Amino acid sequence: MISLENLQANFEKVEATQYEYYCQVNLNIYDFPSCQALGTQAAVGRHLQFTSKTPVNDFLEVRLCEDGYSGWLQVQYLAELEYAPTKYQPVTLSTTQIQERLPAVIAFTKAAMEQPNHYLWGGTVATNYDCSGLVQAAFTASGIWLPRNADAQDAFTKTIEIESALPGDLIFFATNQDVNHVGLYLGDGYYIHSSGIDNGRNGIAIDRLSDEEDEVALSYYRILKGAGRVEKSYQP
């Protein structure tokens, strides 16, 4: 169990990056030192480091080790952390190894769709996800780490022509060139994604590219940017 006092003592001894902690429960990580903007979620077992020792509005700044995401954790949840006996060690995967795991990645998203769910901005833990959270969770379940957000996932993957997309590739959508949505391609023009309330389905669903008979699918097709292929696992 971690307390604010021993965490601050560690800062006095050595550089904070010498210490890693792991989550004993799923934790919410916020984009700002408040509870108003959920940035991501840290699932049980994930590693994090503290990048500040002084709370701001009862929050401490942290960095998640597996994907490098920075955010803010409420001080009260320090008790849900333990010292990590060994630091997180990223795994290097070949393109072939990743391709072999894509059927399991797709299966994860379909299984998630079968569970009661709704769209959750910042959600990366079952059963409620945002678009990039679903994609990241699906790949993570197969031992492949991707960056957290859709725009970062776009930059991380190899750009391919949409006509060349294969099952397991990522499909990106953008407004004014800013990538703001991502789905997982299933083949034959279909993709699975978690979409929001206003212009989506409030959860995980399968849609078809250029489906002119469906308003939601058509609204996404109008902002289709392209596709990307995962060829490596994220290295922090």
Same domain, 120 and 210: yes
pLDDT for residue 12: 67
Same domain, 66 and 124: no
Q: Is pLDDT above 90 for 7?
A: no
Q: What is the mean pLDDT of residues 98-126?
A: 98
Tell me if 156 sits within 8 A of 234, measured CB to CB: yes
Same domain, 187 and 108: yes
What are all long-range contacts of 82-88, with beta carbons under 8 Å and residues at least 24 apart?
82/1, 82/2, 82/21, 82/22, 82/24, 83/2, 83/19, 83/20, 83/21, 83/22, 84/20, 84/21, 84/22, 84/47, 87/20, 87/47, 88/20, 88/47, 88/236
pLDDT for residue 9: 74
- Nearest-angstrom CA–CA distance, 199 and 190: 18
Same domain, 71 and 108: no
Structure tokens belonging to residue 103: 């059927």
pLDDT for residue 4: 83
- Predicted confidence band of residue 13 (pLDDT cuts 50, 70, 90): low
Same domain, 49 and 156: no
At 38-95, the pLDDT tens digits run: 999 999 999 999 998 889 999 999 999 999 999 999 999 999 999 999 999 999 999 9
pLDDT for residue 15: 58
Q: What is the CATH number of the domain that holds 11?
A: 2.30.30.40
- Nearest-angstrom CA–CA distance, 105 and 109: 7
Q: How many domains does the chain have?
A: 2
- Nearest-angstrom CA–CA distance, 160 and 19: 40
Provide the domain limits for residue 208.
95-229
pLDDT for residue 116: 98
Asked whether residue 90 is domain-assigned, the answer is no
Q: Is pLDDT above 90 for 216?
A: yes
Look up tokens 């797709």; give the residue.
106
Q: What is the CATH number of the domain that holds 211?
A: 3.90.1720.10
